[in-house]
Amino acid sequence: MHPIRTRILAGALATGAALASNFALADDDVTQLKEQLNELDQKIRILQRQQELDKEAAAARAKETPTVSTGKDGFWLKSADNSYQIRIGGIIQADSHWYPDLTAPPGGTANNFLMRKVRPVLEGTFLDNIGFRLMPDFGNGTTVLQDAYVELRLDRAFNIRAGKYKPPIGLERLQLDSETEFVERGLPTNLAPNRDIGVQLGGSVLSDTLSYQVGVFNGNTDNSTTDGDTNDQKDVLARLFAEPFRNGGSWLKGLGIGIAYGTGVQQGTVANSNLATYKTVGQLNFFSFSAGAYADGERTKLSPQLYYYVGPFGLLGEYIDSSQKVSRAASRQQDFDSRAWQVNTYWVVTGEDASFRNPDPRHPYSGKAPGLGAVELVARYGVQTINASAFAGSATTRLADPNASAREARDAGIGVNWYFNRNFKIQLNYDQTEFDGGAAGGKDQPTEKAVFTRLQANF
Amino acid sequence: MQSLNRSIARILVAALLVAVALPLRADVALLNVSYDPTRELYQEFNAAFAKYWEAKEKEKVVVRQSHGGSGKQARTVIDGLDADVVTLALAYDVDEIAAKGKLLPAGWQKRLPNNSAPYTSTIVFLVRKGNPKHIKDWDDIAKPGVSVITPNPKTSGGARWNYLAAWGYALKASGNDEAKARDFVSRLYRNVPVLDSGARGATTTFVERGIGDVLLAWENEAFLAVKELGPGKVDVVVPSVSILAEPPVSVVDKVASRHGTTKVAQAYLEYLYSDEGQDIAGRNFYRPTNPKIAEKYASQFPKVALFRVDEVFGGWQKAQKTHFADGGVFDQIFQK
């Protein structure tokens, strides 16, 4: 021990001994002090224990108390154990459509402002593995039930979904409506059903690198959301989609490639054709079947598809081949074929990662943090072709009028998207569509130029 | 094409059936919702039963346990906890599951021997080493300056047994004078500095936190504390009179039926009455009801005069209503 410290200690001991001799306590006093100390000790222990019990009680209450939360993913109500969850969300899209040329094809939509989608969303989970989703749409001045389904989530690899939802065919169609990079989807979406009612098995396997869906559906007309069915025949649709590198650090991590196939027998009537009308991305009709034509037999769909995202860049490509037996008057069960493909490219200029969903801005705009959000430039090219035989025959037997419906539409589009945050974006698109045929005298329909804008809030 | 459609539809239906059948291939699982101090008992018993059941039925059974204050556990089952069986501290809590949860029939208690109580226990005192406060009987713990640890009768079955044991003693000591019994129990609860929600928590308060002079404890809990702490750390004091605690067990019919576990759940509870089940109860300081096994463990249980709830309080329903319902006697005396 340090000598100075030793001297100090010796001095203290000597002082203590002297004090003790002068102020020695009686035994009774010591006993009393001990009792008081014990009493104080007990009081402190009781207070500490009471605090412990209060904390335990608060923790137990927290476990039993349902939670209400709100954030960029909507409003959530959750039971204490999370086995019951309900999300309230919504999408509002306020669009405007402008056609700079005054020679827009006949029958088209006029320049206007419109509420393209107004969709409250209610979805949730009961008992951990029973899911549901309900989404009506009040957009375009009509009320349509877009999604209404229940899902039994037995396993990540095996789910059963029944109700109305997007059938597993078109890749861009399967993209969430709030997440599309363009205001309107491209030409291949014409050949994919929008929503349909049926039952589907699905899931993902191999560490989520392979997903599948296979289902039986009423068999809606392409690009349609009709609720009912017009015949007893059903469509069987299936899709496989692989993302083989998704779990690694490879530059191919964002690659997804798949194929979808559908087959069924569709039967229409002269009064209810069960056939689609095809629109440009500007939402103007460029192909309609002749009056009296109707679906009359087998139809099939085949769609190879892929996307690839690396850093701020993305690419989405798909091809859909759709064939359908069609009759009109004496012309029975003709093969009607249409093919469409598109390539979409994306570049998030502000550097965020591109993906199948909207970019998540690094510097989101909010009332408290006025970040600039994320800016994305997009471009696409797509073609839809109708087989020539559809226009063959006389005015009473041909499936489509070559003087009113185009044989091919070719769309080139560019756009810019400004994502303020995960909940709000502004989109500006310009699309130009050229046609083969479709005008009187065998001429081509005039080129369609469309400028679309969108302000979207989703939560 | 139509035949292709039909074939694919058949495949889908078959896949659906496979999916539905998948969960049925799993081992059978039971959830036993029990009260606080039975953790060790059922850990040992569950292992024994699983071995027995696999040998008998060639089926693996996994029994999960949930423990807490008995009243609280009963409420949790009523609120939806999927208990295949309940093994609670007192019959009233199972009655509540039958009455409010409608999960089992009202006559559940007659389905197994001894009013569905495969083992019994009683209430004793656990005191500090050497018994410094000289606590020998109930009167000693109602004296001023004695700190008594007992859980909250609102949430703990054991606490209700403690309370009724004290009340029963006071009635007997006063010649069935209710006013004197009330005064006695009031004085006793004035000595309670903290109320835990369950018996195991109260043991923690007394043994680990060092609070109080005496713990009113299940007999098994007291002996377990002595065993775990080692001799000489705490002492068990057996009062002159105590209550015969009959913790009941029952299958929760609706849950077990929904889970498809009725047969194994029933067998699980019946096995508590087997020689092995009774032996495990005895080893864990519960009093076996099988006379042969009870004889084997007779020396570990002190002789004490025991009274039944039915004799003194007219049954659990009446006792609950009078003493533990909101605004009942306990609320009145503890608020003072």
CA distance linking residue A433 with residue A383, whole number of Å: 9
State both tokens at A81: 């154990």
Chain A, nearest residue to B196 by Cα: A53
Residues of B in contact with A46 (CB under 8 A): 193-194, 211
Chain B, nearest residue to A199 by Cα: B12
Nearest to A42 among B15, B196, B211 (CB): B211
Nearest to A45 among B19, B22, B209 (CB): B209
Out of A14-18, A157-161, B35-39, B108-112, pick the least confident: A14-18
Quote the pLDDT of residue A14: 53
Instruction: Give mean pLDDT, residues B84-95.
Output: 94
Q: Which residues contact A450 (CB under 8 A, 6 or more apart)?
A: A97, A98, A99, A280, A281, A282, A283, A284, A429, A430, A431, A432, A433
Quote the pLDDT of residue A56: 84
Minimal CA separation from B150 to chain A, in Å: 13
Which of B205, B213, B214, B255 should be substituted to probe chain A, the one whose Cβ sees the most A Cβ atoms within 10 Å? B205
CA distance linking residue B316 with residue B117, whole number of Å: 14
Quote the pLDDT of residue B13: 46
Contact: A199, B12; criterion CB under 8 Å: yes
> Strand (E) positions, A173-330?
196-205, 210-217, 235-242, 255-267, 278-279, 285-287, 294-310, 313-328
Q: Look at chain A and count its residues.
A: 459
Q: How many CB pairs under 8 A join A and B?
A: 59
Alpha-carbon distances of A102 from A112, A156, A438, rounded to whole Å: 14, 53, 17
Instruction: Give mean pLDDT, residues B254-267.
Output: 94
Classify strands A85-98 and A74-78 as parallel, antiparallel or unpaired.
antiparallel
Quote the pLDDT of residue A408: 97
Residue ranges of chain A with per-residue pLDDT less than 50: 1-5, 104
Contact: B1, A298; criterion CB under 8 Å: yes
Contact: B194, A49; criterion CB under 8 Å: yes
Contact: A233, B5; criterion CB under 8 Å: yes
Q: What is the CA radius of gyration of chain A?
A: 34
| CA atoms lying within 13 Å on the CB side of residue B191 | 23
**Residue A198 CA to chain centroid, in angstroms?**
20
Residues of A in contact with B12 (CB under 8 A): 199, 201, 214-216, 236
Quote the pLDDT of residue B241: 94
Nearest to B15 among A201, A265, A298 (CB): A201
CA distance linking residue B299 with residue B284, whole number of Å: 14
Unique residue bearing structure tokens 């027998």: A265
Q: Look at chain B and count its residues.
A: 336
Residue A345: strand pairing partners: A315, A379
Minimal CA separation from A93 to chain B, in Å: 38
Residues of A in contact with B197 (CB under 8 A): 53, 56-57
As a dihedral over the C-alpha atoms of residue B292, residue B298, residue B303, residue B306, rounded to 10 degrees, the angle is -40
Residues of B in contact with A50 (CB under 8 A): 194
Alpha-carbon distances of A86 from A121, A150, A161, B80, B209, rounded to whole Å: 10, 13, 18, 19, 43
Phi-psi label, residue B260: left if phi above 0, alpha if psi -120 to 50, beta otherwise: left
- Per-residue pLDDT of B191-247, as tens digits, reads 999 999 888 899 999 998 999 999 999 999 899 888 888 777 899 999 999 999 999
CA distance linking residue B219 with residue A337, whole number of Å: 85
State both tokens at A428: 């500006």
Number of neighbours of residue A66 by Cβ within 10 angstroms: 12
**Cβ distance B217 to B159 under 8 Å?**
no
Minimal CA separation from B240 to chain A, in Å: 29
At residue A310, what is the residue type?
A: V
Residues of A in contact with B16 (CB under 8 A): 160, 201
Contact: A158, B193; criterion CB under 8 Å: no
CA distance linking residue A104 with residue A92, whole number of Å: 27
Chain B, nearest residue to A200 by Cα: B12
Residue A133: strand pairing partners: A123, A149
Residues of B in contact with A199 (CB under 8 A): 12
Contact: B23, A53; criterion CB under 8 Å: no
Contact: B4, A263; criterion CB under 8 Å: yes
Chain B, nearest residue to A39 by Cα: B145
3-state secondary structure string across chain B: CHHHHHHHHHHHHHHHHHHHHHHHHCCEEEEEEEEHHHHHHHHHHHHHHHHHHHHHHCCCEEEEEEEECHHHHHHHHHCCCCCCEEECCCHHHHHHHHHCCCCCCCCHHHCCHHHHCCEEECEEEEEECCCCCCCCCHHHHCCCCCCEECCCCCCCHHHHHHHHHHHHHHHHHCCCCHHHHHHHHHHHHHCCCCCCCCHHHHHHHHHHCCCCCEEEEEHHHHHHHHHHHCCCCEEEECCCEEECECCCEEECHHHHHHHCCHHHHHHHHHHCCCHHHHHHHHHCCCEECCHHHHHHCHHHCCCCEEECHHHHHCCHHHHHHHHHCCCCHHHHHHHC
State both tokens at B60: 């693996």
Chain A, nearest residue to B213 by Cα: A42
Contact: B2, A45; criterion CB under 8 Å: no
Minimal CA separation from B195 to chain A, in Å: 8
Q: Which residues contact A259 (CB under 8 A, 6 or more apart)?
A: A239, A240, A302, A303, A304, A305
CA distance linking residue B13 with residue A91, whole number of Å: 36
Residue A235: strand pairing partners: A217, A264
Residues of A in contact with B23 (CB under 8 A): 154
Unique residue bearing structure tokens 């002297």: A18
State both tokens at A32: 């009393």
Contact: B209, A49; criterion CB under 8 Å: yes
3-state secondary structure string across A286-327: EECCCCCCEEEEEEEEEEEEEEEEECCEEEEEEEEEEEEEEE
- Per-residue pLDDT of A174-184, as tens digits, reads 999 999 999 99
Q: Is A222 helix (H, G, I), strand (E, B) or coil?
A: coil
Q: Which residues contact A8 (CB under 8 A, 6 or more apart)?
A: none
- Per-residue pLDDT of B120-161, as tens digits, reads 999 999 999 999 999 999 999 999 999 999 999 988 888 999
Quote the pLDDT of residue A147: 95
Minimal CA separation from B36 to chain A, in Å: 15
Minimal CA separation from B123 to chain A, in Å: 23
Contact: A48, B9; criterion CB under 8 Å: no
Contact: A53, B194; criterion CB under 8 Å: yes
**Cβ distance A257 to A271 under 8 Å?**
no
Residues of A in contact with B205 (CB under 8 A): 49
Classify strands B241-243 and B305-307 as parallel, antiparallel or unpaired.
parallel
Q: Label residue B229 exposed, middle or buried (CB < 10 Å: 0-12, 13-18, 19+).
A: middle
ipTM, interface predicted TM-score of the complex: 0.73
Residues of A with CB under 8 A from a CB of B: 42, 45-46, 48-50, 52-53, 56-57, 154-155, 158, 160, 199, 201, 214-216, 233-234, 236, 263-265, 297-298
Contact: B209, A48; criterion CB under 8 Å: yes
Unique residue bearing structure tokens 């909507």: A74
Residues of A in contact with B211 (CB under 8 A): 42, 45-46, 49
CA distance linking residue B45 with residue A201, whole number of Å: 42
Contact: B211, A199; criterion CB under 8 Å: no
Residues of B in contact with A298 (CB under 8 A): 1
Q: Is A17 helix (H, G, I), strand (E, B) or coil?
A: helix
Quote the pLDDT of residue A301: 95
Contact: B211, A160; criterion CB under 8 Å: no
pLDDT above 70 as % of chain B: 92
Alpha-carbon distances of B295 from A254, B216, B276, rounded to whole Å: 73, 26, 14
**Residue B115's pLDDT band (boundaries 50, 70, 90)?**
very high
**Cβ distance A284 to A240 under 8 Å?**
no
CA distance linking residue B29 with residue B265, whole number of Å: 9
For chain B, give the longest Cα–Cα distance. Answer: 94
Residues of B in contact with A49 (CB under 8 A): 194, 205, 209, 211
Quote the pLDDT of residue A13: 53
Quote the pLDDT of residue B253: 95
Unique residue bearing structure tokens 């954030």: A71
| CA atoms lying within 13 Å on the CB side of residue B139 | 6
